[in-house]
């Protein structure tokens, strides 16, 4: 596995945890509402839901080499 592939895997796997932790101060507000939920809750649900897609992408990048 080349260093570029490894870096891509780590970057893809690191995006969801970063967005769930470091972005919280920027999205912590009640308005706008998304489907009736405060924006922060919608943000967290979104990132928890798409995390498997990022991990699948990281796995696929590694398998293609």
Q: Summarize pLDDT for 6-60 with one digit per residue, the tens.
A: 999 999 999 999 999 998 899 888 889 999 999 999 999 999 999 999 999 999 9
Domain that holds residue 16: 3-63
Q: Residue 33 — left, alpha, or beta (φ > 0 → left; ψ -120 to 50 → alpha)?
A: beta
Q: How many domains does the chain have?
A: 1
pTM of the model: 0.84
């Amino acid at each position: 596995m080349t260093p570029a592939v490894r870096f891509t895997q780590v970057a893809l796997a690191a995006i969801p945890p970063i967005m769930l932790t470091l972005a919280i101060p920027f999205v912590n507000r009640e308005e706008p509402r998304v489907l009736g939920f405060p924006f922060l809750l919608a943000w967290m649900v979104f990132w928890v839901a798409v995390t498997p897609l990022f991990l699948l992408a990281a796995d696929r990048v590694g398998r293609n080499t």
